[in-house]
């Protein structure tokens, strides 16, 4: 009887241990799958959060674009058309002569488009006093926002200066 009891006990313990090992293995696999799914859910949630932020930024930018449209229309009116560049040339020459400067203006090469605007290089040679040249440059920068001065070379010749301004003029196509 003891032998039969021991055999049954051993079998019961072995079956219980087998079931326990199987359940622990199943629990381990399910736990690992849950962790994997949680990682996927977290990355998807982060992606959605980023997209929502991008959509909010896009909506805000569209609203700001609507608010800026009237100002953009004004700016487009300020920038001359291509065929108006010769009048800009005359205005700059007139402004130079009003500042008691001798002037020589030449257009250079045309540049590739930037932000829907074309541009053309120019060179402006001036002769006159230092104060007059400075005053002329200040007036150009304040009156003509579409004229970009990029270089200035000044050489003193006795009591006058010989200056060369280089830059570009923006225009609408």
Classify the C-alpha dihedral 20-22-28-30 as positive or negative. negative
The continuous run of DSSP H or E covering 47 comes out as: helix 2-78
Sequence spans of domains, the chain: 1-78, 82-172
DSSP state of 161: E
Task: Confirm if 155 and 148 have CB atoms less than 8 A apart.
Answer: no
Compute the distance between CA of residue 11 and CA of residue 8 in angstroms, rounded to an integer: 5
According to CATH, the topology of domain 82-172 is Alpha-Beta Plaits (3.30.70)
Q: What is the model's pLDDT at position 50?
A: 92
User: Tell me, what's the pLDDT at 1?
Assistant: 57
Q: Which of 21-30, 49-58, 116-125, 160-169 has the highest mean pLDDT?
A: 49-58
What global pTM score does this model have? 0.55
More confident residue, 71 or 21: 21
Instruction: Please write the tens of the pLDDT for every residue from 84-130.
Output: 777 888 988 898 888 888 888 888 888 777 667 788 899 989 888 88
pLDDT at 3 exceeding the cut of 80: no
Instruction: State both tokens at 153.
Output: 């070379």
Q: What local confidence, expressed as pLDDT, does residue 56 receive?
A: 93
Over residues 31-72, the pLDDT tens digits come to 888 888 888 999 999 999 999 999 999 999 999 888 888 877
């Amino acid at each position: 009887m003891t032998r039969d009891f021991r055999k049954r006990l051993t079998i019961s313990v072995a079956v219980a241990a087998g079931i326990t090992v199987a359940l622990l293995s199943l629990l381990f696999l399910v736990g690992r799958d849950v962790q994997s799914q949680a990682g996927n859910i977290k990355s998807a949630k982060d992606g959605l959060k980023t997209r929502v932020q991008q959509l909010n930024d896009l909506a805000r930018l569209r609203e700001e674009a609507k608010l800026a449209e009237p100002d953009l229309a004004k700016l487009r009116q300020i920038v001359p058309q291509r065929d108006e560049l010769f009048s800009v040339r005359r205005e700059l020459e007139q402004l130079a002569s009003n500042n008691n400067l001798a002037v020589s203006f030449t257009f250079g090469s045309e540049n590739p488009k930037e932000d829907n605007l074309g541009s053309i290089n120019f060179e402006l040679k001036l002769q006159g006093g230092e104060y007059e040249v400075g005053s002329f440059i200040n007036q150009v920068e304040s009156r003509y926002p579409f004229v970009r001065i990029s270089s200035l070379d000044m050489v003193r010749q006795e009591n006058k200066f010989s200056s060369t301004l280089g830059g570009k003029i923006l225009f609408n196509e």
